Amino acid sequence: MTVRVVLADDQSVVRAGFRALLDLTDDLVVVAEAADGVRAVEAVRTTRPDVVLMDIRMPGIDGIEATRRIAADRALDAIRVVMLTTYQIDSYVFEALRHGAAGFLLKDIEPELRAAIRTVAAGQSLLAPAVTRGVVEEFARLKAPEALGAERLAPLTDREREVMALVARGLTNAEIGGALIMSPLTAKTHVSRAMTKLGVRDRAQLVVLAYETGLVRAGER
């Protein structure tokens, strides 16, 4: 399977570096580049890639707004956006996850970049690294849970809430299955049902919502 990638970054040297790295593979192909958010959205609509590597800070509209526009377009629903940032703890990253990003990568992660793109293209979120959990926790810590948290989660069964809480703590489907004595497939089904009921795009948004509603609190394990 060939994974089609759009590179969106206002620094041409960064785009060139990523392109050179991806050109070394047979299964990852750069189909377009963009130097700002508007062009990034246009490139995505034109080329319909599998994955977008999106810089957060760009001229015109930034990466967060570009991600929001992509996530809001039902015709682009299958496209996965990964945010690129220079800083490990960044408020913009949290907002990007809220608006539909599948995860984020530090710009100096070149050796793992190819594996990360393949992971996202396969439908998974980049939530395993502790640094990602750190971002979510840091900004959940600064923001009080929504007053309507219980109402927001009302559609979920007790089991789906349990599973959602474990997703928010960074557990995989296999680990959730082990913790709750169920198969990984059953855990995956509960995750999918929770996302459907809550109207979220992927596991990344499920994690953010778990913190925002108070289902999970910063520092809990």
Confirm or reject CATH 1.10.10.10 for domain 145-212, answering yes or no.
Answer: yes
Domain ranges (residues) in the chain: 3-126, 145-212
The answer, as to whether pTM is greater than 0.75, is: no
pLDDT of residue 186: 95
Between residues 112 and 58, the one the model is more confident about: 58
CA-to-CA distance for 159 and 165, rounded, in angstroms? 10
pLDDT of residue 129: 47
8 A C-beta contact, residue 30 and residue 5: yes
Q: Mean pLDDT, to the nearest integer, of 86-110?
A: 73
Between residues 147 and 212, the one the model is more confident about: 212
pLDDT of residue 96: 79
CA 64, 69, 71: angle at the middle one, nearest 5?
90
Is residue 53 within a helix (H) or strand (E), and if so which, with residue range? strand 51-55
8 A C-beta contact, residue 145 and residue 213: yes
pLDDT of residue 91: 66
Is residue 105 within a helix (H) or strand (E), and if so which, with residue range? strand 103-106
Count of beta carbons in the 10 Å neighbourhood of residue 170? 16
Q: What are phi and psi of 45, to 5 degrees?
A: -70, -30
Say which CATH architecture domain 3-126 belongs to: 3-Layer(aba) Sandwich (3.40)
Helices in 30-127 by DSSP H: which ranges? 37-47, 63-72, 91-98, 110-121
pLDDT of residue 109: 67
